[in-house]
Amino acid sequence: MEYELIREIINPCAGDKRPEVTMDEIETDDVDAYVRGLWPVDTHYEKTIHASGSIVYEQHRDGVINRLTFTP
């Protein structure tokens, strides 16, 4: 399946509240496996599935928030 992937890195400790944002188009049959390939194995994250079909993964690590939004 093809997804638009929005990656946000939010570092409130750096004094800039605007996230660093990148967008890509990806193709995967397993979004969970794709995310596991991006983040270290010991990473804890939350997954939210919205009614619109978007899937959001959010990780908090060392004061930095990493958010991945997959939109079909």
| Mean pLDDT calculated for residue range 12-17 | 72
Q: Using CA atoms, how far apart are residues 30 and 32, in angstroms rounded to an integer?
A: 5
What tens digit of pLDDT does each residue of 36-46 get?
999 887 889 99
Q: What is the pLDDT of residue 21?
A: 96
pLDDT value, residue 39: 87
The DSSP output letter for 14 is G
Domain boundaries, the chain: 2-71
**pTM assigned to the model:** 0.89
Cα-based torsion angle of the residue sequence 40, 43, 49, 55 in order, rounded to the nearest 10 degrees: -30
